[in-house]
Amino acid sequence: MIDVKAVRADFPILERKVNGRPLVYLDSGATSQKPRQVIEAVARFYREHNANVHRGLYQLAAEATDLYEEARAKVARFIGAAPEEIVFTHGTTEALNLAAYSLGELLVGEGDEVVVTAMEHHANLIPWQQLARRKGARLVPVGVTPEGELDLGELAEAISDRTKVVAAVHVSNVLGTINPVPEIAELAHKVGAVVVVDAAQSVPHLPVSVRELGADLLAFSGHKMLGPTGIGVLWGRKELLEKLPPFLTGGEMIREVWLDRATWNDVPYKFEAGTPPVAQAVGLGAAVDYLSSLGMEEVRRHDLELTARTLEGLLERDYVTVYGPTEPEARGGVVAFNLRGIHPHDVATLLDQEGIAIRAGHHCAQPLHRLLGIPASCRVSFYVYNTPEEVDTFLSALDRVWEALG
* Residue 115: strand pairing partners: 140, 166
H-only helix segments in 20-122: 36-44, 59-78, 92-106
Is there a contact between 401 and 352 (Cβ–Cβ < 8 Å)? no
Angle at 119 between CA 117 and CA 124, to 5 degrees: 70
* Residue 321: strand pairing partners: 338
CA atoms within 13 A on the CB side of 394: 31
Q: What is the DSSP letter of 356?
A: E
Question: Which residues in 116-129 are b (16+ Cβ under 10 Å) and which e?
Answer: bbbbbbbbbbbbbe
In the set 61, 139, 364, 371, the catalytic residue is: 364
Distance CA 181, CA 295 (A): 22
Is there a contact between 129 and 156 (Cβ–Cβ < 8 Å)? no
Amino acid sitting at position 383: Y
Tell me how far CA of residue 206 lies from CA of 259, 265, 295, in angstroms: 48, 33, 10
Q: What is the DSSP letter of 40?
A: H
Helix axes 126-135, 92-106, angle to 10 degrees: 20
Angle at 152 between CA 147 and CA 156, to 5 degrees: 155
Peptide bond preceding 204 in cis form (omega within 30 of 0): no
Query: Three-state SS string across 55-73, please?
Result: CCCCHHHHHHHHHHHHHHH
Distance CA 163, CA 217 (A): 16
364 in active site? yes
**SS3 call for 242:** helix
Measured in degrees and rounded to the nearest 5, phi and psi for residue 300 equal -60, -45
Active site residues: 364
